[in-house]
Amino acid sequence: MTGGLLLSGAVAALLTTALPAQAAPAGGFEDPPPDKIVIKVATVNGSGCPAGTTAVAVSEDNTAFTVTYSDYLAQAGGGSDPTAFRKNCQLNLIVHVPQGFTYAIASADYRGFAALQSGATGTQRASYYFQGSPSTASRSHPFSGPLNDNWQATDTTDWAQLVWAPCGVQRNFNINTELRVAAGTTSADKVSFMTMDSTDGDISTVYHLAWKECPES
């Protein structure tokens, strides 16, 4: 795997194993730490992200990371493979945060392209959890045909509802995304599809980070 991922879309409500939420500092979120965070991909599995087609990168200002896909497509109808209606990708990320800081996902942006015939439907879904956490946060976004255009889905979370990564403990972060397409009432010979990629370049999923200083031990 190469390294190219900016944090995306529906992550904010997912962080569940960590510090209790504290009052927001003046102005909302604290400034990001001066040192860069480092994100490494521990494992990547799924029909939507074959080997070598997914990358992760961190923004220079430490406020986001991006996941980029180049072969993420679900389709139904026509001569489509019966298993092609659902594609998913499970990312297990090792996140190294500068000492003295913790993070939460404040929002996530998902983008792709959809060609849905009249009567067809599509769904983008994402779920998030920390290693060892009993809770998983999920978000779904439905789409209906006729649709032949780029699509975008965004999830946001208020400061008071953010769940923070535990301070001083290394917990891998898991992101599971999914695309589903159903032909519905579309004519049997017509194909509908959704991608989280693009014919003229990669589509990125961007995850926006909130920062907070850890209490001194």
- The pLDDT tens digits for 39-95 are 777 888 999 998 888 888 777 777 777 888 889 999 999 999 999 999 999 988 887
Residue 18 has phi, psi (to 5 degrees) of -130, -150
CB count within 10 Å of CB 118 equals: 14
Which range in 28-32, 134-138, 174-178, 200-204 is most confidently predicted, on average pLDDT?
A: 174-178
pLDDT at 3: 37
**Which of the four pLDDT bands, split at 50, 70 and 90, describes residue 7?**
very low
Cβ within 8 Å of residue 74, ≥6 positions away: 48, 84, 85, 86, 87, 122, 179, 180, 181, 193, 194, 195
| pLDDT recorded at residue 82 | 92
Q: What is the structure's pLDDT at 40? A: 77
Considering just the CA atoms, what is the radius of gyration of the chain in Å? Answer: 18
Confidence class for position 197, pLDDT limits 50, 70, 90: low
The structure tokens listed for 173 are 């972060």
